[in-house]
Chain A
């Protein structure tokens, strides 16, 4: 089983649509959870952290279910500028510094 698993997409949605991405992780000792965004041939950039209580940042809502080892990201009112690859990322502390484990990403294409 992959450490972090995502549907690769692509998700093609019209502007204004609501789209949801899912992610599962295999390591129950994972401690922190993030969604990163990566534009084509660019570096990953943090979109938001994910907490058990769920958190919202404008049009973006992230949820974590530790029991199911499942993370989600909801984007409401999609904009053209949301087109990117969305990376599910988990960390675990195995040493002084911890490492980010990335999923393969889900590609989103928002169209007119």
Chain B
């Protein structure tokens, strides 16, 4: 069964460092998303991406965040200068069409900023 894969599964980084979280969406999917979940809290939308550009972003997705689809398979989330409060589980998701159809989630990257 096709699945969304994310690497690494766990990343520890020092405050102020840049991190790149990587995702390989399902191959025939056209819409890509990043969500985050701070421990004990709800899943929150960060950004959606379609046709090589950002479709929508939340207020969490400030200038410290960027997304890229550098080739035909990878979808990355970059955090330029990490803060302690960026510690969370980051989920990548993809869907065939917009979120009106099922979104498939990757297993997540647990980011710990120390």
Seen from chain A, the residues whose Cβ lies within 8 Å of a Cβ on chain B are 31-32, 34, 38, 41-46, 49, 87, 91, 93-105
Contact = CB atoms under 8 A, between A and B. Distances in A.
Given A42-B107, A45-B105, A104 B42 contact: yes
Given A96-B51, A96-B55, A99-B56, A46 B102 contact: yes
A96 B50 contact: yes
Interface of B: 31, 33, 35, 41-45, 48-51, 55-56, 58, 89, 91, 93, 95, 98-100, 102-108
A43 B99 contact: no
Q: Is the interface of B mostly helix, strand, loop or mixed?
A: strand
B58 to A, nearest CB: 8
A95 B53 CA distance: 12
Nearest to B105: A43
A44 B91 contact: yes
B97 to A, nearest CB: 8
A31 B99 CA distance: 10
10 contacts: A34-B102, A91-B100, A96-B50, A96-B55, A98-B56, A98-B99, A99-B99, A100-B45, A102-B44, A105-B42
B42 A98 contact: no
Contacts of A100: 33, 35, 43, 45, 93, 99, 103
A99 B100 contact: no
Contacts of B106: 43
Contacts of A99: 33, 45, 48, 56, 58, 99
A76 B102 CA distance: 24
Contacts of B104: 46
A43 B49 contact: no
Contacts of A41: 89
B100 A98 contact: yes
Contact of B98 (A43, A49, A96): A96
A101 B103 CA distance: 12
